[in-house]
Each structure stands twice: as C-alpha cells, then as structure tokens.
Chains A and B, each alone.
Chain A
C-alpha cells in the first residue's frame, strides 16, 4: 500500500471515529439529566486557590438558575439547592441571603429541614446581629418540626437585635405558653412574605396565608354549627342549613376561596362536610396548624420532639366566640 493511500485510509478512519464518538456524546449536562452533581464543599474549598468568593458566586448563580427554572421545587430539586448553598456558604460564609434561600426550599422532609437549620445556625455564627436568621430558624422549628421551645429560643435571640419586629416578644410568649396556632403561623408567614422579593417564595407564603384565611372561615362555621346544635338540639345535615330555614344562625356562608383570588381563577369551590368536619372544597382538608397540604398530618410535619399540647376542639372555640361573630 502506498503511503498516500495509507494516509487517506487513516484520515477516513479518524473521521469515522470522530463522528462515531461525537454522535454518542450526550448533549445534556449531568444536571440536565437530573443527576444534580454538586461537588463536596471541602473539595471545592481546597481547590479554589484563593478564589473562594468567585466560586461561591458561581454556585450561588447556579442555585438561582435551578430554582428559577422550576415550575415547582420538588424534593429532588430542593436537595440539589441545599447542596449548592452548602458549597456557597462553605466557600464564603459571609454571604447573607443564600442561607435563608436554602431554608425556604428545604422543607420536604425532616432531614431537609434539619439540614436547613444547620445552614441557618452557620448563618447565625457568621451574622450574629441579623435577626432574620434567628427568625427563619424559629419558623422552621415551629412550622415544620413543631418544636415550640426551640422556636421560642430562636425568636428570643432575635428579639433584641436591631431591626427585629416589635411583635416578637408576644410571639415568644405564645410559643412559650405552648399555644401555637394558626395565628402564630400567620404572623410567621406574613413576616416571611414581607421579607422576600422572590416571586416563587412569595407564592409559597401567599398559599400558606390563603390556607389560613380559609381555616379562619372554617372555624367560624364550626362555631356557627355548634350554635345551631345548641339552638335546635340536632346537628346540621348540610352546611347550607346554617343560612337557610327557620333556625339559620348566620346570614351567609363565607367565601370558600381566598378573597385575593381574582374572578377568572376562581374554581367554584363550596363548603361541605367531610368526616364530620366542615371543609372548603378549595383545599379539601382542614389546616391543622401546620402546612396541611404535605399530607395533612396533625401537628408538626416532621416533628418528633414536639412539645405542642393537644389541639383544642372546635367546640371549645365555639364556647368562647359563638356569641360574638354572627352566630
């Protein structure tokens, strides 16, 4: 074989090899394929060669892009975000918002909440004067873990810090008296909502507040129901019995959907009796103090150190309020 023929054959061989290999190279990155690769924080820190802050920014921007590109942050994405923020805050513990960013999303399991709390404790170590980190830690203890004493301790630490809201002492008192209820959750959620500009975070808190609004209305109907029973000696058969007939106890049923929902987005929800409880078909369940749509467990979502007392029966509320609110 002449040398020229060999060269042409070799060239064809290399072209074929290149084309074959290139056609098989995945065009998506590991993250695109859902592998969510994030290196170990200590490894990135060691390899940063003094460019810690720049690498921290890089991973922070990745976290922002990951959260922003999701319709909803599910457990897998939240875990990925947690890892990214762990790298960011290891490389540059002086950052502020990323700690709270992680805490907002890492709420899908007890392990995630505990990990978020670990990051918040790191935030507190590096920003001891920032009341917001204490507040978010308190929120996690109260809302997800149901650990009221820990929540009270976290908020107590925030109380005297500059810029902290004036209502914190009252919130601490309520938590210490073990009377955490939807009012406490509402205060927490309103503060979280006021403290963020992130559209996805806002939606999350607004959803929580909408649920609380519906729970307020449902409790109002519970009280009306108790008044109906006291008046007639029997229970209602339908929720509408409260506003119709000779024994009606209220003028009209409250809106079963949140007031803020615009007309085109309304679902035509109704009040109904399910498992002997009045519920709005908008939610399909009662709010049970904590974030109910994670399965509707009563009390803390992932708690095992819960010191919360037994939830008071709706009838107890009625005895306190039935005379006041339209019943």
Chain B
C-alpha cells in the first residue's frame, strides 16, 4: 500500500512536469489542426466524405499521440539524472522500480489526457461536419490509449539505460516495427525453410504487435469491433507493458549514476 502511495506521488509529480513541456502543446496544437483539416481534405472527394474526414482525424490522433508519448517519454529519466534530482529522490525510501513505475504511470496519464482532448476535438469536428459518431469510434480511441500505454513503457525502458537521442530512435523504431510485425510474420511463414518460419514466429512473439490496437478502419466504416478482440487487446497491453517495465526495472536497478 505504501509502495502504491509512493508510485502515485511520483506519477503526480511526473504528470505536473510533463504538462509543463512545451513540446506537448505544440504536438497537441498540430493534432487539432490536422483533425480540423480533415474537413477541407474531404471536400476534394465527391463520395466517402465522412470516411475521409474521420480517417484523417483518427490518423492525426494516432500519429500525434504516439509522438507525444515518445518525445516526452524519452526525456523522463534523463532529465532527472541531468538535473541530479534523481539522487534526492532515490535517497528517500523509494525503490528504483517504484521510481520507474511512477514515471511510466505519470506519463501514461498525461498521454491519456491529451488523447481524451484529441478525442473531444474529433467528436466536435465530426458532429459539426455531420459525420456519424458511434460508440465504436470511442472504443477505437480507447484502444489507441492502450497502444500508447505500451509505447510509454517502451520509451521508459529505453530512457532507463540510454541517452534521449538513442531512446527516441529505439522507441520510434519499435513503434514502426510494431506496425509491421504481422507482415514480417506472414512473410516468414511463406518461406520454404522451416527454420525461417520458426524464427519469424519467435520474433513476432517478442516484438510488439501494435496492429492489435488499430481498429480505426472498422470504426470509421461502421464495421463491428469484436468485444472479444478488445478484451484480448487489453490483456496483451497489460502483459506487454508489464514485461517491458519489469525489464526496464531490472536494467535500471543495475544502472550506475556516477
């Protein structure tokens, strides 16, 4: 219980720190602009206007929220080390694992908050343009929230042992790979060599599969989002986040700050 309170305190502090980051507001501003610009883009087509508007909005939400998660997340621990505040924190009865979890929870809450703001902007633009809005749109946005939770965990992992620049490269790289793993897996399964298929399966299990959380196409085109798939996505997000944070904690515990 005491541990949870310490994590909560660290998360609150991280949230306060994150919302003072000007980069967050810049990306948020651009996302609003992109969501609204869907109205203009949609007018270029004489059919599928609502779909184009909402595709644009959903893509802007996914792209900018991933950007915020990555670029705000990678500096979390480095800033503490750089300003030497980490020594003050760790000199108190706070474990390194609690510190890492607090950082992750604070940033996850921050990106969820900005995701909610983007979702509201999306809903307002859709409503003003007369595009249909159903519960599946919000379910798709909630699934983006799960993707961000995993992405923040990955950013936290890399920021635990490397520089912000490298952490950004690794996190962006994994985010991109995370959207390609299904194709890579399918490609490996087509090989005549059994070993290639086997390695492909292992890599597929090891690397994140962010397409699990991508239900924007279904939401925009009014296709049903299976609730069972949503449940599995939640389980996958919790599992992958747990593994990543555990690994991050193990590495961070051995890190020498001298």
Question: Residues on A close to B: CB < 8 A?
Answer: 45-46, 48-54, 56-57, 60-61, 64-65, 92, 94-98, 101, 197-198
Measured CA separation A291–B180 after assembly (Å): 46
Measured CA separation A54–B48 after assembly (Å): 12
* Interface residue from B45, B210, B223 paired with A60 (Cβ < 8 Å): B45
* Interface residue from B59, B176, B179, B180 paired with A54 (Cβ < 8 Å): B59
Measured CA separation A254–B127 after assembly (Å): 55
A94→B223 contact, CB < 8 A: yes
* Interface residue from B44, B216, B223 paired with A64 (Cβ < 8 Å): B44
Q: Given contacts A51-B62, A51-B63, A94-B221, are A57 and B179 in contact (CB under 8 A)?
A: no
A97→B62 contact, CB < 8 A: no
A61 (CB) vs chain B CBs: closest residue = B44
Q: What distance in Å separates the Cβ of B121 from its nearest Cβ neighbour in chain A? A: 17
Interface presence of B41 (CB below 8 A): yes
Stretch of B22-30, B49-57, B91-99, B160-168 lying at the A interface: B49-57
* Interface residue from A53, A65, A97, A101 paired with B216 (Cβ < 8 Å): A53
Measured CA separation A153–B217 after assembly (Å): 32
* Interface residue from B56, B58, B180 paired with A46 (Cβ < 8 Å): B180
B45-86 with Cβ < 8 A to chain A: 45-48, 51-52, 55-56, 58-59, 62-63
Instruction: Please count the residue pairs between chain A and chain B whose beta carbons lie under 8 angstroms apart in the complex.
Output: 61
* Interface residue from A49, A60, A98 paired with B179 (Cβ < 8 Å): A49
A61→B217 contact, CB < 8 A: no
B220→A49 contact, CB < 8 A: no
Chain B interface bracket (under 10, 10 to 19, 20 to 34, 35 or more): 20 to 34
Chain A binding surface, main DSSP class: helix
Q: What distance in Å separates the Cβ of A128 from its nearest Cβ neighbour in chain B? A: 13
Q: Given contacts A50-B62, A54-B59, A64-B44, are A94 and B217 in contact (CB under 8 A)?
A: yes
Q: Which residues of chain A come closer than 8 Å to B194, judged between CB atoms?
A: none
Q: Given contacts A46-B180, A46-B183, A95-B51, are A53 and B220 in contact (CB under 8 A)?
A: yes
Measured CA separation A98–B221 after assembly (Å): 14
Q: What distance in Å separates the Cβ of A100 from its nearest Cβ neighbour in chain B? A: 9
B52→A57 contact, CB < 8 A: yes
B175 (CB) vs chain A CBs: closest residue = A49
Contact sample, A vs B, 18 pairs, CB 8 Å cutoff: A52-B217, A53-B55, A53-B59, A53-B216, A57-B41, A57-B45, A57-B48, A57-B52, A57-B55, A57-B56, A60-B48, A61-B41, A61-B52, A64-B46, A95-B48, A95-B51, A95-B221, A96-B47
B219 (CB) vs chain A CBs: closest residue = A53
Q: Which residues of chain A come closer than 8 Å to B17, judged between CB atoms?
A: none
Measured CA separation A275–B221 after assembly (Å): 56
Of listed B176, B179, B211, residue having the most chain A CB within 10 A: B179
A61-B52, A101-B47 are known contacts; what are 20 more A-B pairs with Cβ within 8 Å? A45-B183, A46-B180, A49-B176, A49-B179, A50-B62, A50-B211, A51-B63, A54-B55, A56-B55, A57-B41, A57-B48, A57-B56, A60-B48, A61-B45, A64-B44, A65-B44, A92-B221, A94-B221, A94-B223, A97-B47
B216 (CB) vs chain A CBs: closest residue = A53
Measured CA separation A198–B47 after assembly (Å): 10
Interface presence of B214 (CB below 8 A): yes
Measured CA separation A51–B47 after assembly (Å): 20
Measured CA separation A57–B179 after assembly (Å): 19
Measured CA separation A16–B173 after assembly (Å): 39
A50→B46 contact, CB < 8 A: no
Q: Which residues of chain A come closer than 8 Å to B55, judged between CB atoms?
A: 53-54, 56-57
Measured CA separation A54–B55 after assembly (Å): 6
* Interface residue from A50, A65, A101, A197 paired with B214 (Cβ < 8 Å): A50
The 3 tightest CB contacts between A and B, nearest first, are A54-B59, A97-B47, A53-B55
Q: What distance in Å separates the Cβ of B193 from its nearest Cβ neighbour in chain A? A: 21
Q: What distance in Å separates the Cβ of A147 from its nearest Cβ neighbour in chain B? A: 29
